[in-house]
Amino acid sequence: RLLASTLSETTYGVPHLPDHSAAIFLPWTVISINAEYSTSVEIERVLSAAVRRQEIYNNSASTNVRVVVLLDEAGLPKKEKSDMALKVLHPYLDECKVAFVAISNRHFDSANENRMVIVLRSLASREDLEVLALGCLGLEADNVQPRTRHFLKGICQAYLEIANDEVFKKFFHYRDFIYLLRYIHCQQRSIGGTLRPDMPLLLDALERNFNGMERSQFMRIVAIFTRCIMAELRGSVPQLEEEDYA
């Protein structure tokens, strides 16, 4: 859905719509393959099928659909295997018969990069994270209570500190930040409440999404989130003590 909406907005200038169902997603057929477990033969098979499907759509006067091949985890395989498997992309990238998007943690080889538009994702700013947080929680910026806004600002600031920490940045990324917010949202919605500063619930969310390391390291994470949130709320929430997460 995110890929479809992004491609729609950047390619055809489709405005953002509140309903993310048919209006944005249906004009795109996304075919996803995982490079880590795919051979060149399997990748070519998917690309060939995508080209055939796109030709069918092009020949249909009543259909305006773009087929997108999404190559996920393109940077995870060993370099030698990845480069050999991805050589099959060359003719498809040259002919441009089907849209192609690859997600990679490293640069491609020059032959592929010269056939692509490279988009590098840098570390998000606090303002970017706040927009992302509101989206994850289904909130409109103009309808957020002040305490809730400060609570979210504290969470975003805490994540920024963790993302810049020499130890934590190796383990935690946007996925953990997003699922932290989604867990808080789901838990408060399940009891019929609205989003509000809830430190015990935050602790539960941190244990689920920012854990998996030594106890002392996890205590540091809890301390970072508590300090940042209390700074935004000016100490108006109870501070978590060590026995709370014993």
Rounded Cα–Cα distance for residues 123 and 174 (Å): 9
Neighbours of 106 (CB within 10 A): 9
Cα(88)–Cα(203) distance, integer angstroms: 47
- Residue 44 has a CB neighbour count (10 Å cut-off) of 17
* CA 230/CA 70 separation, integer angstroms: 42
Q: How confident is the model at residue 48 (pLDDT cuts 50, 70, 90)?
A: very high
Query: pTM here?
Result: 0.59
Determine the average pLDDT of the residues in 5-30: 41
Kind of pairing between the strands at 99-102 and 28-34: unpaired
- For the segment 216-227, the average pLDDT, to the nearest whole number, is 92
pLDDT confidence tier of residue 27, bands split at 50, 70 and 90: low
**Tens of pLDDT along 109-139?**
888 888 888 888 777 888 999 998 888 888 8
**Distance between CA atoms of 229 and 204, rounded to whole angstroms?**
16
Average pLDDT over residues 88-93: 88
Q: Which one is predicted more confidently, 142 or 238?
A: 142
